[in-house]
Amino acid sequence: MPTAVREPRLVVFNEPLARGLGLDAEGFTKADPAEVAALFAGNRLPEGAEPLAQAYAGHQFGRFTVLGDGRAILLGEQRAPDGRLWDIQLKGPGRTPYSRGGDGRAAVGPMLREYLISEAMHALGIPTTRSLAVVATGEPVFREQTLPGAVLTRVAASHLRVGTFEYAAASGDRAVLEALFEYAAARHDPGLEPGAERPLEWLRAVAERQASLLARWIGVGFVHGVMNTDNMAISGETIDYGPCAFLDAYSPGMVFSSIDHQGRYAFANQPRIAQWNLARLAEAVLPLLDEDETRAVEKANGVLEMFPTRFREHWLAGMRAKLGLAEEEPEDAALVDALLEDMQSRQADFTNTFLDLTMKDPAAEWDADTEEFRAWRRRWMERRLRERGPAETSQERMRRSNPAYIPRNARVEEALEAAAKDGDLEPFGKLLDVVRNPYAHDRDLPRYSAPPPADTPRYRTYCGT
């Protein structure tokens, strides 16, 4: 059960999400604010809720650990009007049997961060858990500093993780593993053909969602920061917004998380880590893939070995779209690689380079232009001439694929600081409005699109635990 808090106060509420879930969004906005805050703080349970904390395990930075919802409680499921089923979970509602030494609590800053970045990801068209509300608890949480406490309401297609399967496998009870598999398959992959190969096809489907998701992350410069197996969802949604950040300058080795000393979760390493995590999932479900262990391993390897190819296909499709290309030519990958190499050498801003390619005349001379970049643009223009569709279609494709606005690190910090320190939600509200409309190319908001000044020290993120 959630532990009641002293003085809950609603900080943000996601009305469009509430409507999509089939909740009475208007009712919430008209109701007594104290009642609404009590609900999203866990002080009062919604009708029909059966709270529970989920068990899971996970490889954290490569090491196996038994974990579980140490600071999260699932309230239940909501059937949306479109028939889809959603988990509704409180994050930060107090101690659970899995809290170990922790307090089961969360702070306002990190919860608003999750709200903001998950909304940005959703608006970018990237599968993600969502955030329905953030409530300030009126109680302090004790970290390196004393911080104001908060509870976030997270909405997810499910909270099943790779680590949930690792937990079931570690139990050594085949019936538990089978029950979990059946539940997950029914929930996320109801269309699988029945038969002996169903678990293998399920594994392939999970891997395919990850290949697609990772390509989407890479396409917007997203660094998750803590891709432990307990933070990889079977549904293919981005989950856990602890230390994540977006690239400014393009740098494949970029790491933001203060605890990722080895660069395990560096920007360009993410697809490899996804594959590594899927290998842990495959190990967990190995007994379901085939009665014969050698054959089970061969089957699993068949899926895992395809992962880099599938990722690369999704990536290339995404990069073609970013460059306004619909036709497929064998030299396209080399064209993209040449651009990325040039961007890396110039430390060009990731988002704004693609934005400029979308909005500017590539034949003109640009500010701070280089001979190499001009040469690359000429090569790209020649390639675009071979597109069969009209130029407007190509530009439209670029507009849909290249955001004008991402949550810039400096703007995020500024908004969270104002909210958490001074209770001033205005910067947060403004930034939220900007990142909820990432493809609004006609909006002129230089403060939100500007890269950081050249001498800015590297942005550092923390797990917020």
- List residues near Mg ion by CB under 5 A: 231, 240
Distance between CA 409 and CA 423 in Å, rounded? 20
Question: Per rule CB under 6 A, is residue 90 in the interface with ligand AMP?
Answer: no
Question: Per rule CB under 6 A, is residue 451 in the interface with ligand AMP?
Answer: no
Size of residue set near ligand AMP by CB under 6 A: 17
Question: Per rule CB under 6 A, is residue 139 in the interface with ligand AMP?
Answer: no
Give the three-class secondary structure for 63. Answer: strand
Distance between CA 161 and CA 168 in Å, rounded? 11
Catalytic, out of 69, 87, 230, 240: 230
**Closest separation between CB of residue 240 and Mg ion, Å?**
4
Residue 69 touches which of Mg ion, ligand AMP, none (Cβ within 5-8 Å per kind): ligand AMP
Q: Select the residue interacting with ligand AMP from 2, 8, 42, 68 (CB under 6 A).
A: 68
Distance between CA 438 and CA 122 in Å, rounded? 10
Q: In the structure encoding, which two tokens stand for residue 183, read together?
A: 């539940």
Query: Are residues 332 and 379 in contact, defined by beta-carbon separation less than 8 angstroms?
Result: no
The region of 66-74, 206-214, 283-291, 395-403 touching ligand AMP under the rule CB under 6 A is 66-74
Q: Return the amino acid letter for 117.
A: I
**Closest separation between CB of residue 317 and ligand AMP, Å?**
30
Q: Select the residue interacting with ligand AMP from 3, 99, 251, 344 (CB under 6 A).
A: 99
313-327: buried (b, 16+ CB within 10 Å) or exposed (e) per residue? ebbbbbbbbbbbbee
- Cβ proximity to ligand AMP: between 74 and 339 the closer is 74
Quote helix, strand, coil % in the chain, to nearest 5. Answer: 45, 15, 40
Query: Are residues 400 and 441 in contact, defined by beta-carbon separation less than 8 angstroms?
Result: no
Question: Per rule CB under 6 A, is residue 87 in the interface with ligand AMP?
Answer: no
Q: Select the residue interacting with ligand AMP from 104, 148, 149, 225 (CB under 6 A).
A: 104
Q: Select the residue interacting with ligand AMP from 38, 41, 69, 150 (CB under 6 A).
A: 69
Residue 197 touches which of ligand AMP, Mg ion, none (Cβ within 5-8 Å per kind): none
Question: Per rule CB under 6 A, is residue 138 in the interface with ligand AMP?
Answer: no
Q: In the structure encoding, which two tokens stand for residue 360, read together?
A: 């500017």
Catalytic residue check, 230: yes
Distance between CA 397 and CA 218 in Å, rounded? 18
In order of 226, 237, 386, the CA distances from 90 in angstroms are 21, 18, 52
Q: Select the residue interacting with ligand AMP from 20, 33, 51, 70 (CB under 6 A).
A: 70
- Cβ proximity to ligand AMP: between 69 and 342 the closer is 69
Question: Per rule CB under 6 A, is residue 274 in the interface with ligand AMP?
Answer: no
In order of 50, 308, 390, 393, the CA distances from 323 in angstroms are 49, 22, 14, 12
Q: Select the residue interacting with ligand AMP from 8, 242, 271, 438 (CB under 6 A).
A: 242
Query: Are residues 90 and 73 in contact, defined by beta-carbon separation less than 8 angstroms?
Result: yes
Distance between CA 96 and CA 53 in Å, rounded? 7
**Closest separation between CB of residue 181 and Mg ion, Å?**
22
Q: Which residues pair with 142 in a beta bridge?
A: 146
Residue 389 touches which of ligand AMP, Mg ion, none (Cβ within 5-8 Å per kind): none
Query: Are residues 252 and 266 in contact, defined by beta-carbon separation less than 8 angstroms?
Result: yes
Question: Per rule CB under 6 A, is residue 244 in the interface with ligand AMP?
Answer: no
User: Rg of the Cα trace of the chain?
Assistant: 23
- Cβ proximity to ligand AMP: between 105 and 280 the closer is 105
Measured at CB, which residue is nearest to ligand AMP? 102
Largest CA distance in the chain: 66
Question: Per rule CB under 6 A, is residue 42 in the interface with ligand AMP?
Answer: no
Binding mask of the shown chain, residues 210 to 229, with x at each position contacting ligand AMP by CB under 6 A:
----------------x---
Distance between CA 298 and CA 301 in Å, rounded? 5
Question: Per rule CB under 6 A, is residue 170 in the interface with ligand AMP?
Answer: no
- Cβ proximity to Mg ion: between 210 and 231 the closer is 231
For binding to ligand AMP (CB under 6 A), which residues are involved? 67-71, 99, 102-105, 226, 230-231, 240, 242, 463, 465
Q: Residues with catalytic annotation?
A: 230
